Structure 1
Amino acid sequence: MICNTKYIQDYALDSAIVKPGARYIDVLAHSNLRGNQPGLSVQQYYAKRMRENRNAQQATSLTLLWDGRTMQVINRPLPDGGWVALHEDVTEKLEVSRQIAHLANHDSLTSLPNRNTFHSRMSQVLADIDHSAGSAAVLFMDLDRFKQVNDTMGHMVGDQLLVEVAVRLKRSLCEGDLVVRLGGDEFVILQDNTSRRDAERLAQRLIGAMSEPFVIEGMIVDIGLSVGIALAPGDGTTSDTLLRHADQALYRSKSRGGGGYCFYDAAIESKGLSAMVGDDGIEPPTCPV
């Protein structure tokens, strides 16, 4: 019965077709032909909208437009059985909401998942382990000589280095592994459905990847990586415990000069001793298909 110029413009419609007196299904067929609501046929589009329009209560839905924008459609029923539909472009609102949700679970510098994501995923993994008698590994990592980079080359170079480190870490992982940035130069990897040997091989692969020099703004940056490893469920059955034990193993690795890895050992940690797990010549594995 009524439509305005703004509606016709937003949906890229022809005013000669979309006007008072037109059949609603013809309006939607024309809109669909213009590329609005992609993925739905005219019949599906019509059925979707009529379900919303005939709802006894006010209904809200989203429609994807031909140019990628999103319209929010609010259908308000009328006493005579008709309806009024209000269309609002909510593209920017949705993007802001997505950014807020992303920042809540990701690191703003590297875009890696953050501590919140780690604990959430770790809880799921531990629940699966409890039911299936599986295993997992937590690898706590810290960059060697990172403070020296910040002190001598500046924090901007340090930040760019962290971004490049994140890229190398992701490239070193197998499918299903999770890498997060806790803050500063601390990173953690959660390796699910794994073994002690697999975790050891991953640590070796990560250390090798970080030993290759970085080129940041034309400057050669040489760092290393130290790793502490805790295995679930043997070394802990909560994400906090596993993270703490992996951190303790990392401390032992750092105390030996860095560039290596240590497994958590309750007996060693309780005595405050330092013991290093050495490289036994294991070749880096290929990731399972």
Structure 2
Amino acid sequence: MPFPEGTRWWQLSGKPVLDRTGRLAGFRGVGSDVTASRISEARIAFLASYDPLTGLANRTLFHDLAGAECDRAAETGEPCALLYLDLDGFKTVNDSFGHGAGDQLLRSVAQRLQPFADAGTWIFRLGGDEFAVLHRCAGPLEAADLARAIIAAVSAPYRIDALAAEIGVSIGVALTPADALDPESLLRKADLALYRAKARGKGIVHLFERDLEITQRTRRELEADLKLALQRDEFELHYQPLTALRDGRVVAFEALLRWRSPTRGFVTPAEFIPVAEATGMIVAIGRFALQAACREAARWPGQIRVAVNISPIQFRTSEFLRDIAAALEASGLEPGRLEIEITESVFLDKTAITMANLHELRSRGIRIALDDFGTGYSSLSYLAKFPVDKIKIDRSFVRDIDEQDGNLAVIEAILAIAQKLGIAVTAEGVETVEQAQVLRARNCNDIQGFLISPARPASEIPGLIARVPEDFHRLFPAPARSEIQPRLVAGR
């Protein structure tokens, strides 16, 4: 029944009324306005198949349509591609600007995806910041072209109220019938391709390959062994000295994690750390490293610090400060002798816990070092805005310091700003006397690398403390008194 404010629904019930002769005289009954009920039913039906935030089809409808497309492709041989999308950088926006901004961003992404929908293409939001596209196509090349077009559309800058935001999207692609014949398998294989795409960097599209399943199986086996390694105490720490360029003294040791598996042998951190971070096991492994490093450092001379690498995942947990306090209390190590090494990605995660942890560490006298400086999201503004005691110049800059003028210019700029801010600088990956001489001439505080020593077991530390200064003075004989120039030394 139409009304000025819109259609309204009425439910009528009644029974016939007869006159004295038995003829139908009319009906007698009641009517009730059921508009609210009908709207509610329509809403329930909508929510069963569509995402209320974006209006896109949801995971339930995806499975229905994907199943139909798998059946059709199996019968006709005509492919249908599944594009599995995961937004790059969405969590940073959501955490920095709030969930309201995150929701608005998701709606904006959905609006940019809508134009790609047509008679043979369907768009879905599967949940969180994950989207999917089903696309009837001629083959993988056409699917990859669509994926690249989507990446370009989604990656353009956004305006959320008065805020500017930039995100990207990574896409994994799998096809039916070539890769899978049912929705679950199709989604799983697209997910494997997506995982490979994200591992290669942001804004990447990757098509499913058979070796990805082998990689997944290998990864699952590594996960299982990693859990056992924690239980069996298969992890140990080795220590690499940091040497002062002024006089050759060992000023600190960096604790580096080692895994000796009874079945795999020596497993490099590059192999197992990403798996530990993805599974959350890095928190327990990091806790072990903190406890062991503090316990060992308590045995050293009082002027030597220990540096421990902390994963961003571990750093942002609410238990992190308790783990620090427990390690210091159990070992008796003074807080000022503990140096926490974090990467630049921590500064992008400006959550309340992250910021509170940074400032609380400093208030307790624990030093903070910014590791691998210059390789990630580097911004010299971090050095002024955040509480940092030291920066560590990444080995990639040091490696070509003699051949690449650009690398030397970057190092000189970092050293100049650090000295003005009172921040100490360590150069990583120093392997030659020439590299050390260049750094020493520019007032770099410390060096770390194979020139001085690789990481060694804890049992060798007393010998290193005695030997390193002797080796240093053999490499760098003291100049005649007339050659000695005044030096500026930074550090706090």
Tell me the TM-score normalized by structure 1: 0.67
From 212, 216, 223, the equivalent of 2:156 is 212
Tell me the CA shift for residue 129 of structure 1: 2.2
Separation in 1, partners of 2:141, 2:182: 22
Q: Which amino acid aligns with 1:188?
A: A
- The 1:245–1:78 alpha-carbon spacing in structure 2 relative to 1, beyond 3 Å, is farther
1:154 aligns with 2:98: yes
Separation in 1, partners of 2:120, 2:2: 34
Relative contact order: is structure 1 or structure 2 higher (C-alpha 8 Å, sep ≥ 6)? 1
Q: Is the 8 A contact 1:181 1:187 kept in 2?
A: yes
Q: Which amino acid aligns with 2:141?
A: R
Secondary structure of the residue that 1:244 maps to in structure 2?
helix
Separation in 1, partners of 2:61, 2:37: 24
Separation in 2, partners of 1:146, 1:168: 15
Matches within 5 A, 1:80-95: 82=24, 83-84=27-28, 86-95=30-39
**What residue is the counterpart of 2:49 in the other structure?**
105
From 237, 244, 248, the equivalent of 2:181 is 237
* Higher mean displacement: 244-253 or 126-135: 126-135
Q: Summarize deviations over 1:17-51 as a string: whole Å, max 9, x none.
A: xxxxxxxxxxxxxxxxxxxxxxxxxxxxxxxxxxx
From 270, 273, 284, the equivalent of 2:214 is 270
Count of residue pairs brought into register by the alignment: 210
Q: Is the 8 A contact 2:87 2:169 kept in 1?
A: yes
- The 1:88–1:137 alpha-carbon spacing in structure 2 relative to 1, beyond 3 Å, is same
Secondary structure of the residue that 1:73 maps to in structure 2?
strand
Q: Is the 8 A contact 1:77 1:84 kept in 2?
A: yes
Q: Which amino acid aligns with 2:98?
A: G
**What residue is the counterpart of 1:7 in the other structure?**
none
Tell me the CA shift for residue 66 of structure 1: 5.2
Secondary structure of the residue that 1:235 maps to in structure 2?
coil
Q: Summarize deviations over 1:134-165 as a string: whole Å, max 9, x none.
A: 21010000001111112222221111101100
Q: Summarize deviations over 1:187-233 as a string: whole Å, max 9, x none.
A: 01111354222211110100000121001111110111100000001
Separation in 2, partners of 1:231, 1:81: 69
Tell me the CA shift for residue 127 of structure 1: 2.3
Q: Is the 8 A contact 1:172 1:209 kept in 2?
A: no
Q: Summarize deviations over 1:212-260 as a string: whole Å, max 9, x none.
A: 1001111110111100000001111111110111011000000011201
Tell me the CA shift for residue 85 of structure 1: 5.1
Separation in 1, partners of 2:48, 2:212: 37
Percent of paired sites with the same residue: 37
- The 1:126–1:99 alpha-carbon spacing in structure 2 relative to 1, beyond 3 Å, is same
- The 1:226–1:86 alpha-carbon spacing in structure 2 relative to 1, beyond 3 Å, is same
Tell me the CA shift for residue 186 of structure 1: 0.5
Matches within 5 A, 1:11-160: 64-65=1-2, 67=4, 68-74=7-13, 76=15, 82=24, 83-84=27-28, 86-160=30-104
1:226 aligns with 2:226: no
Tell me the CA shift for residue 70 of structure 1: 2.1
* Higher mean displacement: 67-76 or 257-266: 67-76
Q: Summarize deviations over 1:114-142 as a string: whole Å, max 9, x none.
A: 10010011122222223322210100000
Tell me the TM-score normalized by structure 2: 0.40
Q: Summarize deviations over 1:62-105 as a string: whole Å, max 9, x none.
A: xx345522223335456857454543322211111001111111
- The 1:76–1:242 alpha-carbon spacing in structure 2 relative to 1, beyond 3 Å, is farther
Which of structures 1 and 2 has the bigger CA Rg? Answer: 2
Separation in 2, partners of 1:115, 1:152: 28
**What residue is the counterpart of 1:164 in the other structure?**
108
